Structure 1
Amino acid sequence: MADDIIYLDATELAARIKSGELTSVQVVQAYLDRIRAVDPKINAIVTINDNALTEAKAADDALAAGKEVGPLHGVPFTVKDSIDTDGILTQRGSPIFKGRTPDEDAVAVARMKAAGGIVLAKTNLPEFSYSTESNNLLTGRTNNPYNLDRTSGGSSGGESAAIAAGLSPIGLGTDLAISVRGPASHTGIAAIKPTHGRIPMTGVWPRVPRRDWHVGPMARTIRDLELGYSIMRGPDGHDGFAITPNTVDAGKRDAAPQDLRVAWFTDSGLGPVDPQVADTVRQAAEALKAASVHVEEIDIPTLHHDNPLALFNKQHVMELKPAMADATKGHEDLRFTMSKTMLATPDTSVEDYVAAEQGFERIRDAYAEVFTKYDAVLLPVLPIPAHEHDKTEFVIDGQTVDATHIQTFTVQFNITGMPALSMRFGTSSDGLPIGVQIAGPWHAESTVFNVASLLESVSPVRDAHPNI
């Protein structure tokens, strides 16, 4: 029974619980058993909700009593350990916050629970969520379930590994530059970073620089992403960026394939890409074309001289450094890799900071023009498949680049605030997942979901799972 449960998606689990085919207790127990069996190998889970089975029993009792239930009723979900959970440890990837237990849920968590979801566990992350690998002094390193010697990514790498390994059907992550989409690509699941502000950051830490931080759902299917997004989005009266009403939809959710125009690229001046990754993006473009979508390869000239990662690195240092210093004050001996690196990074001059901001504006303008002609853009998520742990540089297609290059294709959608989704569409020669990224205009998540659903329906790896 458990093996039949753990790789069902959240939408299917909710339907089977509501119909009585499964109970919430059966589902939660199956995931708890899977965590105990598998998590020692990958270290994705940092805290289990001790009340999960009790809450599952209450969910079953509510159904038996004929009560009206939400779209996630009785379904367990996991939460990145930077997102507050009422009564459950939220330790932010640092011994500085060891034992910290919030007395209130983050808004995103509260909305998932209001929809009937049950918090199953908290998942691993880097120190303060600031790294592309999920490793820290408090809860250690997360491994990729496809290859334990490879990274699951960061900063939502515990969440991605948990979902990929069948420890959870759906979860919540956060994204500053790469952090839901990169881990999703590394582990073969799906994730979306919605338009900035669509999901409130209330109850999520850190909040600097908040104009680039996003909350996003992570899951194994596109319909689960859409479900999670529909539950969590909308203003909350606290987050000043979360102001767009749910009635605003600039997308084309129900457009027929022949009415969609999708641009694609694998380079556009952003640096080297593994040939297997580039080939996967081309295959995805061809698959859309075969499905009657109008597909066209493009180049975005602005990206050749305004590199989004270089600009981001200059800009965010001056906000992160004081935040890191404040968070670690009095605990200097408990600093880990990222806080040490950030605090040792030279300050950015005012002139360079302003230049970076102006570069961001040019990139926004460039994409605004792209989206006058196209409904979505298809491109790599990451320039390479999942890499070995603790790499400081990569050799990609004959070029040596700094390890921060891993963020080059994702960070542009954080600094512009546009929605972007990661989903698997290929496999490397050594058996690792390869993802593609779909980006759309501001507030056009429905278009992104539409294109992603089309791709999912023809994906050669739709039902792939790690053998762990």
Structure 2
Amino acid sequence: MSLNQVDCYKYLVLELESVKNKKRDLDLNTVKFDIQLELEEKYLESQVMYTDGAKSVNGGGAAFYVPTNKKKGTMRFSKCFKTSPIMCIMSSELIAISEALSNVQLKLQWIPSHVGLKGNEEADILAKRGITEGQEMNILPCYSEFLFKYKLKCAQMWDEYFDMRSREKGICLRFPGVPFTAKESHAVKGLVNSLGIIARRHTRAPEDAECVRLVREKGAIPVAITNVPEINKWQETRNMLYGQTNNPYHTGRTTGGSSGGEAALAAALASPISLCSDIGGSTRMPAFYCGLYALNPTAGYTSLKGSALRSGLEPTMASIGFVSKHCEDLAPLTKIVLADNAKEFDFERKINVKDVKFFYTESAQDLRVGPVCKDLRKAMSEVIKKLTEEAPSTDKVPMAYYHEGFDHMFSIWKHGMSKEADSFPKMLANNNGEAKAFVELGKKLIGQSQFTMAAIMKLFDDQVLPQVNAEWAEKLTNDLKNDLIKTLGTDGVLLFPSAPRPAPYHYSLLLRPFSFAYWGVFNALHCPAAQVPLGLNSDGIPLGLQVVAAPKQEALCLAVADHLGKTFGGYVPPCQIYS
């Protein structure tokens, strides 16, 4: 017998007077009584029977249930069946109805599921039991169900074959059909590429940025571009063109910048692949504020071509990176944007965290940045305590590390920025002249400036405030970098604070403009750094820290990041997730 032979429509009654609204709008405390009363009145002379189907990873099930009816003189009766695991749940429903029809003459009355009706709940329980205990049913699935199963099998066989050939050729993993989003400063062909400034609001990218091209080449599909601060240069994601991006954990707080739009989408489970970039914490900062993992790879190995109008030929301390809910996603994604350089990084290296040497810095003494708050100090302390307990020997116990360079993190970063090829004042003017700090401040006071106050503050820092002594900063940068690399070697990591405090309230960073230096210092050192989420504080705001390693030791960063995230909570969704 085939399901196509079952003609149930002539029996169906799809309306109930007691159910006029959508199920989500019903009062479940009263609706079951209303339905029960209507069924009793409507089918006073009939025997009520309930049917249901079920499906799980273990197979399919169907059942019918006849409750006791003293007026009709019938006793409780039920039967459950095991159906083909290929069948969809609606086919199992039809089997339950078909078996019921084979026993008695029925009229089929639709009722909403799971509203507390005893008979319906009994049928549901029986259908689930049928998956493992039911009578075997010799009924073939529909053609469409076979077709769906074969499509899945063909896709699985293709993926396995492609992965095998990819490994043989040394090609990175691909992401066929997976959607991805990119921060708006990455050119995506045909989409707006404004960099957050009004002068470029109608500018569309003529071609993909190199990082977008590489991800697209692996089969992923760009579905959106996301908000950035002006020219990617601020700790919040806000501009005069698109406005402000809010933190999904607390909309009154910032997502960070400049990849704040990406982090907000990723944290809210709206983007599986989030393409970012980082020149002063622009990937790691939003990851920290939004409770995500992130990796900023060693500078100089990812192409910036087409990102923030760069040619890709300029020397830079910026890198392309990703934020993600899952630490294990970061290695294959990073390998894609490393392209041919990926072979210089041993991402396949097997790392036992117990063999890693741990160093830590609890807080920096840079007066412009400020000390680390109590919540983040406590988080760091708990991590150190746990790693100490796990240490297999005394030489693996975490050790404190500090260098004079951490007293001048912002100065080190600012000196690094002085070597960058792009000019912030010129880019604000869309490379038609140069924006002037005092002029824009005057315009802002009368409501005529096209820029945010953060952008104007950056103009003052570039054009008015004294610059860093280059000779002193270069020596300090090299001293710190050499000492850090010597200390860490190829098997050590530095646990470092992410910021003075968790996600701040909107606009409050205008009073603390240098807080990003906890991230920025490692851009200037050209060291890889991973951002690790460590669950939430008592206010429901994400906590975290950085894992820093010597150049090209990304695998070490990610192994430790994965271990700490799994131990201390990792990514926690900002909302309840219904499965």
TM-score, normalized by length of structure 1? 0.76
How far did 1:375 drift? 1.3
Q: Which amino acid aligns with 1:341?
A: M
Identity %: 24
Residue 273 (structure 1) aligns with: 372
Q: Distance in 1 between matches of 2:322 and 2:297?
A: 9
Residue 27 (structure 1) aligns with: none
Q: Which amino acid aligns with 1:421?
A: A
Q: Is the 8 Å Cα contact of residues 320 and 337 (structure 2) preserved in structure 1?
A: no
Residue 324 (structure 1) aligns with: 425
Q: Distance in 1 between matches of 2:210 and 2:306?
A: 6
* Mapping for residues 303-382 of structure 1, pairs under 5 Å: 303=405, 305=407, 307-313=408-414, 316=417, 322-328=423-429, 329=432, 333-345=449-461, 346=463, 352-372=469-489, 375-382=492-499
Q: 1:106 to 1:291 in 2, by over 3 A?
A: farther
Q: Deviations over 1:166-217 (max 9, x none)?
A: 1111211111111111110101011111000222111111549852211111
| Matched residue SS, 1:234 | helix
Q: Deviations over 1:355-400 (max 9, x none)?
A: 222222122122122214851111211110111101146xxxxxxx
* Mapping for residues 16-415 of structure 1, pairs under 5 Å: 63=155, 68=162, 71-205=174-308, 207=310, 211-235=316-340, 245-249=341-345, 253-270=349-366, 271-292=370-391, 294-303=396-405, 305=407, 307-313=408-414, 316=417, 322-328=423-429, 329=432, 333-345=449-461, 346=463, 352-372=469-489, 375-392=492-509, 402-415=511-524
Q: Which amino acid aligns with 2:226?
A: T
Q: Distance in 1 between matches of 2:569 and 2:416?
A: 40
Q: Distance in 1 between matches of 2:489 and 2:538?
A: 38
Q: Which amino acid aligns with 1:281?
A: M
Q: 1:287 to 1:110 in 2, by over 3 A?
A: farther
TM-score, normalized by length of structure 2? 0.62
How far did 1:460 drift? 2.5
How far did 1:340 drift? 2.3
| Matched residue SS, 1:204 | coil
Q: Is the 8 Å Cα contact of residues 214 and 339 (structure 2) preserved in structure 1?
A: no
Q: 1:290 to 1:77 in 2, by over 3 A?
A: farther
| Matched residue SS, 1:71 | coil
| Matched residue SS, 1:426 | strand
Q: Deviations over 1:400-437 (max 9, x none)?
A: xx512321321111001110011211322211001111
Q: Distance in 1 between matches of 2:466 and 2:297?
A: 31
CA-atom RMSD in angstroms: 3.0
How far did 1:143 drift? 0.4
Larger Rg: 2
Residue 32 (structure 2) aligns with: none
Higher relative contact order (CA 8 A, sep 6+): 1
Give 1:425's match in structure 2, choosing from 522, 531, 534.
534
Q: Which amino acid aligns with 2:339?
A: G
Q: Distance in 2 between matches of 1:325 and 1:450?
A: 41
Q: Distance in 1 between matches of 2:496 and 2:427?
A: 37
How far did 1:258 drift? 2.4
Q: Distance in 1 between matches of 2:568 and 2:414?
A: 35
158-167 vs 448-457, which moves further = 448-457
Q: Distance in 2 between matches of 1:352 and 1:125?
A: 31
Q: Which amino acid aligns with 2:250?
A: N
Q: Which amino acid aligns with 1:383?
A: P
Runs of 5+ consecutive residues of structure 2 not aligned to the other structure:
1-85, 87-150, 164-172, 436-448
Q: 1:339 to 1:463 in 2, by over 3 A?
A: closer
Q: Distance in 1 between matches of 2:387 and 2:571?
A: 15
Number of aligned residue pairs: give it. Answer: 392
Q: Is the 8 Å Cα contact of residues 312 and 356 (structure 1) preserved in structure 2?
A: no
Q: Distance in 2 between matches of 1:147 and 1:339?
A: 24
| Matched residue SS, 1:364 | helix
